Structure 1
Amino acid sequence: MEEHLVDWSRAQFALTAMYHWIFVPLTLGLGFIVAIMESIYVKTNDEFWKKTTKFWMGLFAINFAIGVATGIIMEFEFGTNWANYSWFVGDIFGAPLAVEGILAFFMESTFFAVMFFGWDKVSKGFHLLSTWLVAVGSNLSALWILVANGWMQYPVGMTFNPDTVRNEMNNFWDVLFSPVAVSKFLHTIASGYVLASLFVIGISSWYLLKKRDILFAKRSIIIGSTFGLITSLFLILSGDESAHQVALKQPMKLAAMEGLYEGTTDAGIVAMGILNPKKTISNDEEPFLLEVTAPYALSLLGYHDIHAFVPGIKDLVYGNVEQGIISTQEKMQKGKLAVQALENYKEAKKAKNEDQLLQSKAVLDENMKYFGYGHIKKVEDVVPPVAISFYSFHIMVALGSWFTLLFTMVLFFATKRDILKYPLLLKAALWSIPLGYIASEAGWVVAEVGRQPWAIQDLMPVGIAATKIATTNVMISFFIFATLFTVLLIAEVKIMTKQIGLGSESKEH
C-alpha cells in the first residue's frame, strides 16, 4: 500500500507541475515582448503600437491569472503530500520560496494592476516602468523557484542537524549561486522566451493566413521572430552548460538521457535512436534497435573534452575502479552506516552518553553524503526510467533545433520578402505553438524523471519523502485537481481564442 501511496503522490505532483508549466513559460516571455512593444510606443508615440501592446497584454493577463491559481496549489502540496521532505529540508527549501512570495510575486502582482488598468491614469513613463517591472518580477519568481529546484538536484550550502533531523542552511549564497541552480534558471527562462516567441509568430501567422490585421501581424511577427532567434541561440548555449552540470553532478541522469549502459571515452551522442525495449542493466541485449551517433559529441557536451570518459549506467551501479567510481552497493553500505549512526545518536542523547554521542556524530558526518542510499532497497533502484528520459531529451533537442531554424526563416521572409506569399511557412509557424509546449514539458520530464529515485539527490528518495496518509485521499484529490486544471485550461483556451478572434482593432490600410 505504501508503494501505491508514493506513486499516487508523485502522480498528483506531476499533474500539478505539468499543468502549471503550461501557463508559466508564456508569462516569462510574453511579458518582455509586451514591454518591448510598449517601449516602441513610448518612443514613437504611434497609437498603432499602443493598440498592439494592449492586444498582447490582454493575452498575457489571461495567462497570468490562471497560472497563479495552479502555482499556489502546487506549493501547498509540499506540506500535504511531502511532509517528510518539507521537514527534512524546510529550512533551506522554504527560504527561496518565501523570497519568491514576499519579493518577486508581490512586485509583479502590484505593478500588474498598474500595467493592466493604468492606461491613461498614470504617465506613459510610469506605465512603461510598470510593464517592465511585471516582466522582471515574473522572471524573479522563476529564479527563486528554480533555485529551490536546483538545490534538490544538487544540495549545497547546508549542514545536517541530528538533534532536529533537519538540514539547515549555513550559506545562502552557495544555494543561490549553485552552478546547477544558475544553469537551470537560465535554460528554463530561455525556453519560456522561445515559447512566447512561437506564440506571437504563430498567432500573427494565423492573421496573415486569414488576411486580417496585416500590418499588426507583420510587425508583431518581426518582433516575435527577432526575440525568438536571439533567445533560441541563448537557449542552446544555456542547454550546453546545463548538460555539463548534469554530467558533473548527476551522471546517472546523463547516462539515462543517452541510453548509455557502458561507459566509454570519446563518447558519441545519439542524434536519433530507437531503444531496445528488451534491454536491462542485467542482460547483454544491445541498447538500441537503431541509432545515428555523432562521434565525440557526448564527451564534449558533458565534460568539454572530446576524449573524456563518460560513465554508463553499469559503471554507476556496479562501480568502475579504473575511473574511481564507487558502486551503488558501497554507497548503500555507507548510507546504512549514516542511518544507523543517526539512530545511535538519538539513543546516546537520551541516555546522556557523551562519548557515544560524539562517536555517532563522527560516523554520521563521515557518511552523510550517502545518507539517502541507506533507504535504497536494491542497487537497480537508482536507475531512472531510461526510455522516458531518453525520448524526452531527444524530443526537446530536436524541437529546439527546429525552432531556431523557424525563427531564422520567418525573420528573413518577414523582412526581405513578402511573407504573405509563403503560406506553408505561416502554417508551420502556427502549428509550432503546440510544439513549443511539448518541448518545454519534455525538458521538465528530463529534469525530474531523470533524477529518480531521488527527491533530494543522494539524500532522500521519494519513498521516504512522501507524507504517510491514506492512499484514497491522494487518489481523490488527484482526480479533483485533474478536473479543475482541465477546466481552467479549457477556459483559458476559449477566452484566448475569443480575444484573438476579435483581432487587434488596429486601423490599417
Structure 2
Amino acid sequence: MVSDYLQTVDWSRAQFALTAVYHWLFVPLTLGLSVLVAIMESCWVRTGDEFWRRTARFWMRLFGVNFAIGVATGLILEFEFGTNWSNYSYFVGDIFGAPLAIEGIMAFFLETTFIAVMFFGWDKVSRRVHLTATWLTAVGASLSAWWILVANAWMQYPVGCTFNLGSVRNEMTSFWEVAFSPVAVNKFFHTVASSFMLAALFVVGVSAWYLLRRREERMARQSIGVASVFGFVFALVTAFTGDRSGALVARVQPMKLAALEALYNGQTGAPLTVVGVLRPAGSRTADDPFYFGLGVPKLLSVMSFRDAQAYVPGIGDLLAGNPKQGILSAAEKMARGRVAVAELARYRAASEAGDRRTMAAVGRKFDPATSEGEEFLSEYFAYLGYGYLETPAQLVPNVPLLFYSFRVMVGAGVLFIVVLGVVWWLNRRNRLASKRWLLRTCVWMIPLAYLASQAGWVVTEAGRQPWAIQDLMPVGVAASKIPGASVSVTFFLFLALFTALFVAEVSILLRQIKIGPDAAGNSEPQKL
C-alpha cells in the first residue's frame, strides 16, 4: 500500500509539473503583450494615425492565439488541486481557495468580458471605448496573475492563518496578511515584470525578423521602439525584484538558498558563485562540491542579509543543526513534528471514544490564547510537516537542477538588459536595420526568454521540495489516495494534448507572422 501511494505521489507531481510548464509557456506573453497592444492602440487614439491601428491589430491577433490556449491549460491546472491533491485542498482549502475564487470571479471575469470588445468592437464602438476595453483586458490579466501568485506565495510562506483542531484544517485569520505578505507582493512584481520583459523580447524578435527580410519596416522599427523601452525598464525591475526575492528566500526558505548556491558548509561572508560545474553526487563533498567555480567574495551574504559579514547557513547546517547560529537540526525538527502529529492522533482517538477530558487537554495545546498553547504551537506544531518525513535527506532538493536553473535565469536576465538597451539605442538612431547579426540575435532571444522564464519557475517550485506547504505539509501527505495507474494514464493524455496545443499555437503564430499585419483588416477609422 505504501509503495502504491508513493507511486501516486510521484505521478501526481509529474502531472502537475507537466501542466504548470505548459501553462507557463502561454502566460508571460499574455501578460506582457496585452499591455504592449494597449500602448500601441493608445498611440492610435492619440495621433489618429492609421498605422498604429494596423500595428495594434496585428499584435492583438498574436495575443489572441496565445490567450485562448493559455486559458485551456490554466483551467486544467486549477482542477488538479481537487483531483490529485485532495488532502492538500482539504487541509488549507479555506486559505488557498480564497485567492483562486477571487481570481475566477473578479479578475478572470474582467479579462474575458472586455476581451470580446477588444477583438470584435473595432467598428462597433468609439475609439475611446475600445481603448478602455483593451486596457481593462490588460489590467484583468495582471489581476488574475496577482491572485494566482498570492496563492502560490502562501505555499512558500504560510501566514495569516490558524489551525482548527476540530476540523483538522488551517483556516484564514487575516485576508490582508495572506494577500499582501512580503513574499506575495515581491513575487507578483517579479513575475509580472519578467513576463513584460519576455513579451517585449517577443515583439523585438518578430520585428527583427521583418527587418531581416526587409518587410513591414516601419511597423518593425516602431514596434521595436515601443517594445525595447518597455522591455528594458521591466528588465531592470525584474533584476531589482529578483534581488529582493533572494533576500526573502534567505529568511523563509534557507534550504532553497543553500541548494541554489550548492552551499554545503555555512559561511560568514559567503561568496556568490557566478559560474561553476558541480561534481557528480557520488564524488561531491561538502568541502569540494565543484570541479571549478568562480565566485564573488561576500556577495551572497550581502544579497541575502545586506551584510558582508552575515552568516549564510549551508545544507549541512540545516540538516545537522548549528547551535551557535541558532539553527535546529533536522532530526530535532522531525522529533518535534512527530509530537504534534501524535497529539493530533490522540485528539482524534479521544473524539471517537467520546473522551472529553483528553480532548480538552489536547485542545489547550492548540489554543493560542493560552500560554501552554502558545508554546506548543511555536515549539512543536510549527514543525508539523517534519513529523511526516522519514529521513533528513528528504529535506534537500535537487541541487544540480536548482544550481544550473538559477544561473540560466540570472545569466539570461543580464543578457536581456544588454540586448534591449543596445537595440533601443541603435533603433533610435536608425542604425539597427544594418546590424544583421544583432537582428538575428534578437530572433534567438525569443526561445532564450522562454527558457529563462521556465528556469525561474523550476527554481521556485523545485526549490521548496519536499514541501507542498513550507514546513507544514510535505507533498507525500498532500496527494490524493487514488491509484497511481490512473494518474499515469492522465499524465500521458495531458502530455499528448498539451503538445498538440503547443504545436498548434506555434504553427498559427508562425503563419500569422508570415502573413503580416495585412490580415488584420483595414476598416475605416472610427470617430471619437
Report the TM-score range of the alignment, normalised by the length of the smaller protein.
over 0.9
Looking at structure 2, the residues matched to 361 and 184 of structure 1 have their Cα atoms a distance apart, in angstroms, of 36
Q: Answer yes or no: is 1:504 the counterpart of 2:517.
A: yes
SS at 2:162 equivalent: strand
TM-score by length of 1: 0.98
Looking at structure 2, the residues matched to 221 and 158 of structure 1 have their Cα atoms a distance apart, in angstroms, of 47
Match of 2:91 in 1: 88
Looking at structure 2, the residues matched to 284 and 374 of structure 1 have their Cα atoms a distance apart, in angstroms, of 26
Please give the per-residue CA displacement for 1:475-507, whole angstroms capped at 9, x wherever unaligned: 110000000000001111111111111112399
CA separation of 1:256/1:362 partners in 2, compared to 1, >3 Å: closer, same or farther? Answer: farther
Looking at structure 1, the residues matched to 243 and 431 of structure 2 have their Cα atoms a distance apart, in angstroms, of 35
Q: Answer yes or no: is 1:272 the counterpart of 2:238.
A: no
The AA in structure 2 aligned to 1:494 is: S
SS at 1:435 equivalent: helix
Match of 2:400 in 1: 387
Looking at structure 2, the residues matched to 459 and 314 of structure 1 have their Cα atoms a distance apart, in angstroms, of 22
- Aligned-residue sequence identity (percent) comes to 54
Q: CA deviation at 1:255?
A: 0.3
CA separation of 1:335/1:280 partners in 2, compared to 1, >3 Å: closer, same or farther? Answer: farther
Q: Answer yes or no: is 1:338 the counterpart of 2:351.
A: no
Match of 1:69 in 2: 72
Match of 1:413 in 2: 426
Match of 1:195 in 2: 198
Looking at structure 2, the residues matched to 391 and 482 of structure 1 have their Cα atoms a distance apart, in angstroms, of 25
Runs of 5+ consecutive residues of structure 1 not aligned to the other structure:
none
Alignment check: 8 A CA contact 2:265 2:286 kept:
no
Q: CA deviation at 1:354?
A: 3.6
The AA in structure 2 aligned to 1:95 is: A
Q: Answer yes or no: is 1:51 the counterpart of 2:42.
A: no
Match of 1:219 in 2: 222
Match of 2:7 in 1: 4
The AA in structure 2 aligned to 1:151 is: W
Q: CA deviation at 1:331?
A: 0.5
Match of 1:295 among 279, 297, 311: 297
Q: CA deviation at 1:279?
A: 5.6
SS at 1:32 equivalent: helix
Match of 2:474 in 1: 461
Looking at structure 2, the residues matched to 94 and 414 of structure 1 have their Cα atoms a distance apart, in angstroms, of 47
SS at 1:421 equivalent: coil
SS at 2:274 equivalent: strand
Alignment check: 8 A CA contact 1:218 1:414 kept:
yes
Looking at structure 1, the residues matched to 294 and 286 of structure 2 have their Cα atoms a distance apart, in angstroms, of 20
Alignment check: 8 A CA contact 2:86 2:480 kept:
yes
The AA in structure 1 aligned to 2:17 is: A
The AA in structure 1 aligned to 2:352 is: K
Q: Answer yes or no: is 1:251 the counterpart of 2:233.
A: no
Looking at structure 2, the residues matched to 465 and 373 of structure 1 have their Cα atoms a distance apart, in angstroms, of 13
Please give the per-residue CA displacement for 1:363-386, whole angstroms capped at 9, x wherever unaligned: 455121111011000111111111
Looking at structure 2, the residues matched to 361 and 262 of structure 1 have their Cα atoms a distance apart, in angstroms, of 41
The AA in structure 2 aligned to 1:357 is: M
Match of 2:370 in 1: none
- Tell me which stretches of 4 or more aligned residues in structure 1 moved more than 6 Å: none
Q: Answer yes or no: is 1:262 the counterpart of 2:265.
A: yes
Alignment check: 8 A CA contact 1:345 1:356 kept:
yes
Q: CA deviation at 1:425?
A: 0.5
Q: CA deviation at 1:303?
A: 1.0
Q: CA deviation at 1:120?
A: 1.6
Q: CA deviation at 1:304?
A: 1.4
Match of 1:125 among 123, 128, 131: 128
The AA in structure 2 aligned to 1:38 is: E
Looking at structure 1, the residues matched to 344 and 238 of structure 2 have their Cα atoms a distance apart, in angstroms, of 43
Match of 1:447 in 2: 460
Q: CA deviation at 1:284?
A: 5.1
Match of 1:471 in 2: 484
Please give the per-residue CA displacement for 1:19-40, whole angstroms capped at 9, x wherever unaligned: 0000000001001100100111
Q: CA deviation at 1:347?
A: 2.2
Looking at structure 2, the residues matched to 429 and 396 of structure 1 have their Cα atoms a distance apart, in angstroms, of 17
Please give the per-residue CA displacement for 1:349-405, whole angstroms capped at 9, x wherever unaligned: 334434322332344551211110110001111111111111111110000000000
Alignment check: 8 A CA contact 2:265 2:287 kept:
no
Looking at structure 1, the residues matched to 515 and 364 of structure 2 have their Cα atoms a distance apart, in angstroms, of 69
RMSD: 1.3
Q: CA deviation at 1:298?
A: 0.5
The AA in structure 1 aligned to 2:251 is: L
Aligned ranges for residues 224-235 of structure 1 at < 5 Å? 224-235=227-238
Looking at structure 2, the residues matched to 279 and 267 of structure 1 have their Cα atoms a distance apart, in angstroms, of 25
The AA in structure 2 aligned to 1:477 is: T
Alignment check: 8 A CA contact 1:342 1:361 kept:
no
Match of 2:104 among 101, 104, 120: 101
SS at 2:25 equivalent: helix
Match of 1:435 in 2: 448
Match of 1:327 in 2: 329
CA separation of 1:7/1:280 partners in 2, compared to 1, >3 Å: closer, same or farther? Answer: farther
Give aligned pairs, total. 506
Looking at structure 2, the residues matched to 497 and 173 of structure 1 have their Cα atoms a distance apart, in angstroms, of 44
The AA in structure 1 aligned to 2:45 is: V
Looking at structure 2, the residues matched to 304 and 343 of structure 1 have their Cα atoms a distance apart, in angstroms, of 43
Q: CA deviation at 1:2?
A: 2.1
Match of 2:382 in 1: 369
Runs of 5+ consecutive residues of structure 2 not aligned to the other structure:
367-372, 522-528
TM-score by length of 2: 0.94
